[in-house]
């Protein structure tokens, strides 16, 4: 089955477009985008990937894509798809290479005037303390035996070993530990890659950012989240590092063989998959959950390093700074959840790849404190523009399996971004706009220029227009470290 020909998107809502079922598509492909964004959405042919996903066995309702959609491996980045547990499949391409890449947001007791004079030193100190870059290692070395416990216990392992605070755990998706991890399904190569990368940020679009609450849109929800105008925040975006990458790489080959074994017809070999109920599907889910827990632990260790660095740099106590976890979300993950399918609750396997869970108010999966307002949805922008805090909605539960966007989404490839940055001093440009940036390499900073991304405000406005998340607050970047 070859690639489908190009198609016109049909507008079916104010911010919703559809590719009706055709050829081998089992369900429609639905893409969230404003009219202004449609040309950008189609520029890299990512809608083709959304249509390809609609061909997979056991998919229910629709193949979905958020407004930050762009081309990915197999599934588009920004893709969401749910599969019937008995007839459906699990696909590493629907999770991504950086398993449980995600975002932690922390809020403090501080306002800008308390840190302004020390901000450059703080950014430099964070950059020295938290390892960044492609091969970054050395933040927290563990033994092979201890690493097996990390991938089962997740963020709780870090807390137990003095690398975090127990109060964080309630405010992490899955409470920082996903059940069902199977260490025996992990390769020796993955174990080796994971030994020295706990507490490291990595490279690419991963970052640690100090920001400030710039505007409140929903005062009631902001008060529940403990946010106020001018408040200093920290946002951390990273994932499972080389460990998760290796897990994905290992299982793509296995899934390619499984697709042939189970006679699954694929529109694209990058959609290699296996039935959820199969031996191969069980093995991948168990290995993926190990990588999910590794990422939860990784972010918890980074948070611990950040807290200690701020205490030293500001000469304040932990209580004075008050850096607490607002929430942490996963971007690249597959989860067994209960959702309404054709009028009845059904257990499905939801793939979110470059998409964020956005559960509605009163969901039992949320911290008790947040149940009146819904799940926090954390949307980082780029180095020079704003980030957002949203909350999930009942409409998201009906329409998107409780999912929303995860960021701005790339508008330029890394190659094109480097071309656009040629001859420019990105650090100086950002400093002139009030943002202090430190990066391991000029290449990374060039690849991550603001023009490389869609306008995050347009992406967020689209989700709000579609009703799949609501705006609570906007954050302004003050300083950022990158690999």
Catalytically active residues, by annotation? 406
- Alpha-carbon distance of 205 to 235, in angstroms, equals 13
β-strand pairing of 469-482 with 436-439: parallel
CB–CB of 380/101 below 8 Å?
Answer: no
Cα–Cα distances in Å, from 64 out to 31, 67, 77? 6, 10, 11
Q: Which residue has the tokens 């050829």?
A: 23
* Nearest residue to 441 (alpha-carbon basis) of 462, 455, 427, 454: 427
β-strand pairing of 29-32 with 63-70: parallel
* Nearest residue to 458 (alpha-carbon basis) of 67, 90, 148: 67
- DSSP-derived 3-state class of residue 18: strand
Q: DSSP secondary-structure letter at 453?
A: B
Q: Quick one: CA dihedral 428, 432, 438, 444, positive or negative?
A: negative
Phi-psi region of 409 (alpha: psi -120 to 50; beta: other; left: phi over 0): left
Q: Quick one: CA dihedral 43, 47, 49, 52, positive or negative?
A: negative
Q: DSSP secondary-structure letter at 6?
A: P
Cα–Cα distances in Å, from 151 out to 144, 352, 431? 11, 20, 39
């Amino acid at each position: 089955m070859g690639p489908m020909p190009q198609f016109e998107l049909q507008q079916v809502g104010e911010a919703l477009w559809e590719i009706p079922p055709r050829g081998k598509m089992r369900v429609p492909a639905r893409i969230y985008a404003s009219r202004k964004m449609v040309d950008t959405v189609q520029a890299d042919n990512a809608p083709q990937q959304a249509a390809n996903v609609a061909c997979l066995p056991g998919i229910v309702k629709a193949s979905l894509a958020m407004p930050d959609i762009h081309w990915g491996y197999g599934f588009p980045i920004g893709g969401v798809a749910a599969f019937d547990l008995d007839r459906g499949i699990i696909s590493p391409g629907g999770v991504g290479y950086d398993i449980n890449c995600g975002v932690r947001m922390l809020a403090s007791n501080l306002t800008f005037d308390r840190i302004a004079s020390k901000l450059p030193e703080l950014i430099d100190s964070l950059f020295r303390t938290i390892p960044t870059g492609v091969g970054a290692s050395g933040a927290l070395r563990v033994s092979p035996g201890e690493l097996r416990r990390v991938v089962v216990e997740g963020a709780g392992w870090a807390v137990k070993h003095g690398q975090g605070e127990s109060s964080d755990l309630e405010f992490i998706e899955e409470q920082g530990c996903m059940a069902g991890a199977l260490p025996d399904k992990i390769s020796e190569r993955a174990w080796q890659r994971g030994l020295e990368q706990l507490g490291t940020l990595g490279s690419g679009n991963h970052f640690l950012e100090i920001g400030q609450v710039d505007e409140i849109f929903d005062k009631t929800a902001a008060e529940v989240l403990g946010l106020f105008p001018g408040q200093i925040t920290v946002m951390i975006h990273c994932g499972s590092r080389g460990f998760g990458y290796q897990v994905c790489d290992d299982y793509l080959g296995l899934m390619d063989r499984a697709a042939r074994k189970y006679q699954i017809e694929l529109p694209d070999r990058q959609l290699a998959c296996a039935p959820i109920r199969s031996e191969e599907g069980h093995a991948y889910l168990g290995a993926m959950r190990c990588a999910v827990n590794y990422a939860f632990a990784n972010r918890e260790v980074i948070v611990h390093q950040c807290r200690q660095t701020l205490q030293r740099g500001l000469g304040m106590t932990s209580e004075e700074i008050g850096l607490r976890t607002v929430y942490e979300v996963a971007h690249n993950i597959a989860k067994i959840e209960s959702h309404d399918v054709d009028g009845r609750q059904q257990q499905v396997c939801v793939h979110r790849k470059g998409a964020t869970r956005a559960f509605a108010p009163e969901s039992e999966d949320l911290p008790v404190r947040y149940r009146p307002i819904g799940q926090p949805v954390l949307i980082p922008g780029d180095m020079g523009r704003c980030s957002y805090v949203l909350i999930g909605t009942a409409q998201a539960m009906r329409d998107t399996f409780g999912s929303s966007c995860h960021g701005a989404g790339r508008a330029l490839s890394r190659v094109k971004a480097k071309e656009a940055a040629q001859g420019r001093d990105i650090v100086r440009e950002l400093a002139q706009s009030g943002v202090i940036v430190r990066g391991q390499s000029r290449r990374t900073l060039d690849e991550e220029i603001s023009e490389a991304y869609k306008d995050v405000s347009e992406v967020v406005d689209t989700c709000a227009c579609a009703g799949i998340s609501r705006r609570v607050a906007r954050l302004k970047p003050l300083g950022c470290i990158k690999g």
